[in-house]
Structure 1
Amino acid sequence: MQGVEAMYEAGMMEVIPLKDPTSPLQGSLEPGIRPELLDRCAEYQVRLNQVLDTFEEIPASMVRALGLFFTPPDANPFPVRVESIEDCFRQIDTLLTETEGTLRDKSALITIREKVQSLERRESDVNLLLPFQLDLALLGDFTTFSVSAVMVKKEETGMFLQQVTAAGAEEIFIDKKTAKDGEVVLIAYPAHLRPSIHPSFRLSGVSVLHCEECEGTPDKALATIRDRIRELREHERERINSLEMFRDTYERKLLAIREELRIRKEELDLIPKSGSSRDVTYLSGWIPAREVNSFTAAMDRSTCGHFFSTRPEKVESPQEAPVMYDNPRWLRPFEFLTTMFARPKYGEIDPTPFMAPIFVIFFGLMLGDAGYGILLTLSGFLLYWRFRRSSSVFHDLSIILTWCGISAVIFGTLQGGWFGDVPSRFFGISPPLVLLEPIKDPIAMFQIALLLGILHINLGLTLGFYQNIRKKEYNPALMDQGVWFIIQPSAAILMAVFFGWITAGTNVLYVAVAGIVAGLAIIFYSRGPMGFFALTGFLGDWLSYVRILALALATGGIAMTVNILAELVAEVSPYLVVLAVLVFLGGQLFNLIIQSLGGMIHSIRLQYIEFFSKFFIGGGEAFTPFRMERMYSVRGDA
């Protein structure tokens, strides 16, 4: 097991189970025998989960929620000292014995809450009978007569009374009182009419009022029920206090030992995936090329030199290899966005290094407000500080949010956005460093959006062209990407001459026309009539970048509208200044949330649809090494 533990701690190898069709060991070795200890591990996991689940019965508290936010459980991992799997079992048995009271508390809480719910339903029913002031002990079926109370919706009252009286009007006493949602009807009738009247209680809009075990008038019964509810609530609080004591004393220990048990179980799980002969255990798997030497050295040390490894010079099916991103640290959070679309296939270009900076720039241009950017940056820092160790997803999202906030600060400053026009409207100050205000000069922003769009699209085409050339797929390189490098400059020359932006000689015009004709010929030759949609699709992709202008205008326009409304409210009366401040804060917060979501969604859409479609397919399998991961525990000195 020393070799297994070393491999687990190194976390460099993704094991290929012996039964997997891709395993090079399949057919030549017998798989390892599944250890019986795995069943015991599973049993102990269930029992630990049962105890930890009892803590979910404790109502959430604001104080605890704030405490968990500022001091998450994983921030203080609990030291675990376990020498063997049997030692782990013994420690768990001790903890389960000490915490068996939690299961009794949970069972008691469930019983108490069921009783409270039943009493609250009875309280609601008795409350409807207050206008009658009858002895509730009279309700029910007796030897010679019955008394029933029902709640009937207003629109169903006529039908219900008609059906009841039809059973024998002369022998039935009916009284009714108006309630909030209908009519409360009291019916007294002889025992022999029960078969005729009881079916009426099952009509739509009719519900029987239950007052079992209630005595005296409704007001006295209500007092009794409420006293009983208060008594049960006190018992509930006692049980919750007991659970809270167990949680404060044992939760960290239980989480830590459960994590240690999971680690030991994963080590045992490796045995059935391995192959074995009389004296040797064999494993096959994937290791990143740069980690091979480190992995070999670690295994050699742990087995005192009794370790041998080999690898084929050429992999027959490299497309079956798992994929691990290989980006610098600052780029790794953006791998989350790439994976949301698809993980790159083995040997395919990873779009993350290209997508990340462009995504951040597009977001900053779309939000275009430095004030909002500062708030987003601070939010990103706060989330990073809170979740940097407890959640990889929130860790990545917090860094992405921080970069997006910084981008919004930069481009918001250049676009003059500070919560809309707050500096100029309320303080008479012109923001510094303003280069372009989208609201005042939308045409310039429109041109910038189109320029960025054509550059972004051509970057995707270039990557696709390079990828096809590298694979020696020359026909797709020409038909899918190369043709646009012919059409675009030719169309640009003809358009510039047509609008009088440039003058060009006859030879240049001839070359441009020839380029257009050649490009169209290639498109329609390769795609047939569908080539027309390739042209319109390219144009549609390009025009899609106008959303950069649209969102920039929306952010500034709505923020400015909020400022105008706040100003108008404040001018009505000095007493409305507080209301004006609330209008300003609420409106700006709403705009921040809506425009930030819009910026995120539309920025990522430009990556996924307009950019990725030019070169990226995806569909790779994630590299999942056999790795020890701890969150709640830390290994103590064994």
Structure 2
Amino acid sequence: MLRAEAAIPVRMRRVAIVAPEKALRESLVRIAEAGCVEIDLAGDGGPEVRGPAATRLQRLRAEPAHPVLSEVPLDLDALEREGRADLLAGEAQLEERIGSAVRHGTVAALAGWCPETEVGATAARIAGAGGALVPLRIPRGIDPPTLLTGAATAPPAHPATTVRRSFTPLVTTYGTVPYADLDPTMAAGIVYVAMFGLMFGDAGHGLLLVVLAFLLRAGRPRRLAALRPLWPFIAGAGLAATLAGVAYGEFFGPTGVLPVLWLEPLEEPMRLLAAAVGLGAVLLAVAYAAGIVNRWREGGPSAALYTTTGIAGAALYLGLAVVAGYVWLGQVAYGVVGAVIAVVGLGLAGAGLYATTGGGPGGAVQTGIQLFDAVVRIGSNVVSFARLAAFGLTHAALGAIVWDGTTALTGRGPVGVGAAALVFLLGNALAFSLEALVAGVQALRLEFYELFSRLFEGEGRPFKPWHLPVQHLTPSSVATGAPTAAEAVPHAQAREEWS
């Protein structure tokens, strides 16, 4: 069961890492090992100041190494002589953070961000080193960094968490969700697989995608192991395509294996088109509703009321939809009510747009152009969902061509049967590959341009915690060039990456 908190990004706390100067290094090492605190660095964007470890690392000119921290201070000269770029890189990061600390007497402090649920555990971790993690108030005008729930440290075996993580790239590819906004990950994933299924509606092809997803889950093929976290996403797309194929009566084309439960795309294209546009209209309405919530959370009632992605835009959309109902049904009342709602929406949106201009005649002209664009966009966005039907028809047409070619060859003896099997296999392989690519791209385009453009008006900043593996080393182990089994026991297993 999904938690209510899953609808918003992970709640962040502003924190200060406070420690006596002599305990600062150990406290920071424990922070790095925990991997759940983003530390503010001094001098961002200014001239780079190199510490002793960074200077030695630059002189070493070694290949880029994965930074590692030692629990105890080590001889930097010995690290340089032995070519330990990994440890020098870790020490260089540690130097950067120690150098960013604010000092008062013998006490040093660093500010940063930590997920609210991790504050207690992190505070207990560094308390053993003599440090403290102190919650602070969030400064005015500063938005916390964003961490989506799918990237948090929920148990990987939890089904909802696994599915959410597979959907997360859909959102992060578009941009970073502002901290104040809703987290659309689960909704975006469900909408994407539904749209993909409508365009890729074939039960046979959908089942192939499901099989591919479970092969990825099993780590096969190995060269695609990096895609393993996406297996629920691919399985969902395959399941949606399978269900759509069952509704269309398509199983590797119109083979007759399945009865038509809803409609046959090539026989009823207008009905499929109407269903696609209707679905698009519903999705746009939901996007406007989410946009209103986001504008309210970002800037309060006025921001929600006057923006074209808030109440003003939603009223304009609703009014135009009611007017479209008048055109479709011929009821004059629909036309009057729709026109009134649309005019109210235009007035609110115009007031909001004019307030962002320099005023005067130029501002009025600019506002008029933007309002015209808003009306045109609504119409074009609704019609854009017709591509769900168009590409569904294309997939069905390809399947029909392959099946017609197959059946035409089967009555020509053994050679014809072999040729028919070849045509069936190669034709379906081509249709599967081509349509999977096209449907995937088109579903992404609809989600980004038609839906996400109403959800988000700005972009947030991603949460980037400092995380390095920590090893137990002694100064004598460096002289060997590599720690011994007894001296280089890894510290507690590094926490799963946040992002």
TM-score for the superposition, normalised by structure 1: 0.58
1:482 corresponds to 2:304: no
Alpha-carbon distance in structure 1 between the residues aligned to 2:56 and 2:224: 30
Which residue in the other structure is 1:316 paired with?
A: 140
Note the 1:6-17 alignment, pairs <5 A. 6-17=30-41
Does the 8 A contact of 1:45 with 1:261 survive in 2? no
Structure 1, unmatched stretches of 5+, are 23-32, 50-79, 97-256
Return the alpha-carbon distance in structure 1 between the equivalents of residues 221 and 76 of structure 2: 30
User: Map of 1:74-473 to 2, 5 A cutoff?
Assistant: 263=90, 266-276=93-103, 279-301=106-128, 303=129, 306-319=130-143, 321-327=144-150, 329=161, 330-386=163-219, 394-422=227-255, 424=256, 429=257, 431-432=258-259, 434-470=261-297, 471-473=299-301
Correspondence 1:560-599 to 2 at 5 A: 560-599=400-439
- Structure 1 counterpart of 2:293, one-letter code: Y
Q: Which of 478, 481, 489 matches 1:636?
A: 489
> 1:337-359: CA deviations, max 9, x gaps?
21111101231333323211111
- Contact 2:146 2:178 (C-alpha < 8 Å) held by counterparts: yes
Aligned mates of 2:223, 2:27 — CA distance in 1: 29
Match of 2:52 in 1: 36
1-side partners of 2:40 and 2:73: how far apart?
25
Distance 2:325 2:64 in 1: 74
Distance (whole Å) between structure 2 residues aligned to residue 48 and residue 622 of structure 1: 24
Q: Counterpart in 2 of 1:163?
A: none
Asked if structure 1 preserves the Cα contact closer than 8 Å seen for 2:213 and 2:232, the reply is yes
Q: Is the Cα–Cα contact under 8 Å of residues 387 and 394 in structure 1 kept in the other structure?
A: no
Asked if structure 2 preserves the Cα contact closer than 8 Å seen for 1:18 and 1:275, the reply is no
Verify: 1:514 aligned to 2:347, yes or no: no
Cα distance change on mapping 1:83 and 1:512 into 2, 3 Å: closer
Aligned residues: 423
Give the corresponding residue for 1:605.
445
Aligned pair in 2 of structure 1 residues 413, 88: CA closer, same or farther (>3 Å)? farther
The amino acid across from 2:276 in the alignment is: A
Deviations 1:547-578 (A, max 9, x none): 00011111111022112223334444422433
Secondary structure, in 3 states, of the residue corresponding to 1:285?
Answer: strand
The 8 Å contact of residues 420 and 556 in structure 1, kept in 2 or not, is answered as yes
Aligned counterpart, 2:460 = 620
With structure 2 as the length reference, what TM-score do the two structures score? Answer: 0.73
Larger of the two Rg values belongs to structure: 1
CA contact (8 A) 1:569 1:576 kept: yes
> Please, which runs of 5 or more residues in structure 2 have no aligned partner?
1-24, 151-159, 354-366, 471-482, 492-499
> How far apart in 2 are the matches of 1:637 and 1:475?
52
Q: Give me the CA root mean square deviation.
A: 3.9
Match of 1:165 in 2: none
The one-character-per-residue Cα deviations of 1:185-215 (angstroms, maximum 9, x if unpaired) are xxxxxxxxxxxxxxxxxxxxxxxxxxxxxxx
Query: Per-residue deviation at 1:623?
Result: 1.0
Q: Paired residue for 1:5?
A: 29
- Per the TM alignment, residue 524 of structure 1 is displaced from its structure 2 partner at its CA by 6.0
Distance 1:455 1:364, change over 3 A: same
Cα distance in 2 between the residues matched to 1:637 and 1:608:
43
Q: Name the CA shift for 1:291/1:410 in 2 (closer, same or farther; >3 Å).
A: same
Counterparts of 1:281 and 1:392 in 2: how far apart (Å)? Answer: 44
Q: Separation in 2 of the partners of 1:413 and 1:553?
A: 15
Change (3 A) 1:488 1:603: same
Distance across 2 between alignment mates of 1:315 and 1:519? 35
Structure 1 SS opposite 2:250: coil
List aligned pairs for 1:13-28, cutoff 5 A.
13-20=37-44
CA distance in 1, matches of 2:489, 2:340: 76
Q: Distance in 2 between matches of 1:373 and 1:629?
A: 42
Distance 1:282 1:628 in 2: 20
Give distance in 1, aligned partners of 2:302 and 2:166.
34
Percent of aligned positions that are identical? 22
Aligned to 1:552: 392
Shift of the alpha carbon at 1:616?
0.7
Aligned amino acid, residue 6 of structure 1: R
2:69 and 2:118 map into 1 onto residues whose CA distance is 30
Deviation, structure 1 residue 86 = 5.2
